[in-house]
Structure 1
Amino acid sequence: MIDIFGNALVDYLAGEYTEDIATYSSLDEEDTIPLPYLFRTFKDMPSLEKTALKLAKGKVLDIGCGAGNHALYLQQKGMDVTGIDTSKGAVKVCQQRGLNAVIHSDILNHSKTKYDTILLLMNGIGLAGTMQKLDGFLSHLKSLLNPNGQILLDSSDIIYMFDQDEDGGYWIPDNGSYYGEVVFTMEYKNQRSEPFPWLYLDYGTLQNAAWAHNFECELVGKGNHYDYLAKLLLH
């Protein structure tokens, strides 16, 4: 499988930045992921990410760590933090940037260690893929937490992407699936990834899923564009 994301990160770190990652979605949206943004420092992070990093405590696992921005910031603060990513390129970049602990693995295949804080930033809950897989995903994350452990995640309610009628309701296609289920394809330097599912959760849906696993669910903050930061607390 082509490591689009990792190849782009490796190129950028090597000073070979010539283009951004193009994304195409099942919502007929075309967009780009600017590579410099994937190497942002703490001061350039959105406020929700800054808040999440300030709330991190104990032994931390950064899922989908990418270029390692969040993990490296916490490591510089003296915290015990591990990054994990399915991208070989991302893992290589984290190592080259000085992250002490980084694992190349799917999170569902990682079960050896327990953590006090799990980070799922940059819409990280999207890794669950679909609503059907969300329960299993949360169940696995729960198994990785110490008593009183927490999951800090941000996501977005993408209801705004659908047309509204005069009464304020939304026209959502009745295809039997949750409207936050999106399929993406990425393209970089004339190479295209296989399509992959991604899940955007509105807060109410997240809250119900969290309660089903006996998490406390707290809305920590809201961003400027239908995005939010939530904390799931395990007792």
Structure 2
Amino acid sequence: MNDPIGRAIADFFERGEAPDILIDTNYTEGELLSPAFFFRNEDGMPEIETTALNLCRGKVLDVGAAAGCHALALQQRGLDVTALEKSVLSAGVMQKRGVEKVVCTDLFHFQEKGFDTILVLMNGAGIGETTGGLKKMLVHLKERLNENGQILIDSSDIRYLFEEDDGSVWIDLADDSYMGEMVYELTYKNDFSRFKWLFVDFETLSAISREAGLQCVLIKEGDHFDYLAQLTV
């Protein structure tokens, strides 16, 4: 099936409980993610996410909507929300939970335009996979925006993983790829997937945004090197 997150979301929705998802990366191993994370309400969201929800206006596109926690919160506020999710299982759960507009497809196959806000949360920059892929993603999202629209996107600066005790940063000079370009391996029961994921510092996001024809503003910083940015034309 190669959809461990979708399967975990579906199991949790049907049964009210599900085993943790095991996460290994090229930098870390043995991390666990509870499927309940995808069903949190506003009270359980970090401040970066609630700040993003408060900034949403007009017609909203929620990219990588998972189980629909952000889409449902925005619907309750009376906003017109389209939830975009490529996982068939996750999209089905959102429909059962009452998300009114669910589109199940890959982001780059989504061609609808006319959005005032595009929401890309839960380390949303990661969808780009690489710095080059992030630029491609931002150009594609820019084309979906109305004239005065905005993209609200979050990520994390993972330089702390490479810091030495003296504060210097260790980087493998033999590898010219950006240090935030990671490889993830997810396991849920007997379901496994391997994919690229990007964590990008704000300065790099700003530079890539300019290349994509967007202005980038830092909105909020979190407690663990994470941040929320607003991108506008």
Q: Give your verdict on TM over 0.5.
A: yes
SS in 1 for 2:111: coil
Kept after mapping to 1: 8 A contact 2:113/2:146: no
Structure 2 counterpart of 1:119? 119
Structure 2 counterpart of 1:90? 90
Kept after mapping to 2: 8 A contact 1:68/1:83: yes
SS in 2 for 1:171: coil
SS in 2 for 1:133: helix
Structure 2 counterpart of 1:217? 216
List alignment gaps of at least 5 residues for structure 1.
none
CA distance in 2, matches of 1:58, 1:28: 39
SS in 2 for 1:134: helix
Q: What does residue range 15-30 of structure 1 map to in structure 2 within 5 Å?
A: 15=15, 17-30=17-30
Amino acid at match of 2:183: V
CA distance in 2, matches of 1:171, 1:51: 33
Give, in angstroms, the shift of residue 15 of structure 1: 1.1
The normalised TM-score by structure 2 is 0.96
Q: What does residue range 38-57 of structure 1 map to in structure 2 within 5 Å?
A: 38-57=38-57
For these two proteins, the number of residue pairs brought into alignment is 232
Q: Which deviates further from its counterpart, 15-24 or 153-162?
A: 15-24
Kept after mapping to 2: 8 A contact 1:165/1:171: no
Root mean square deviation, CA, Å: 1.1
Amino acid at match of 1:204: E
SS in 2 for 1:99: coil
Amino acid at match of 1:209: I
SS in 2 for 1:137: helix
Moved over 2 A (4+): none
SS in 2 for 1:149: strand
Matched, 1:72 2:72: yes
Give, in angstroms, the shift of residue 165 of structure 1: 5.1
1:54–1:225: structure 2 CA closer, same or farther, 3 Å change rule? same
Matched, 1:61 2:81: no
Structure 1 counterpart of 2:205? 206
SS in 2 for 1:112: coil
The normalised TM-score by structure 1 is 0.96
Kept after mapping to 2: 8 A contact 1:38/1:66: yes
Identity rate, percent: 43
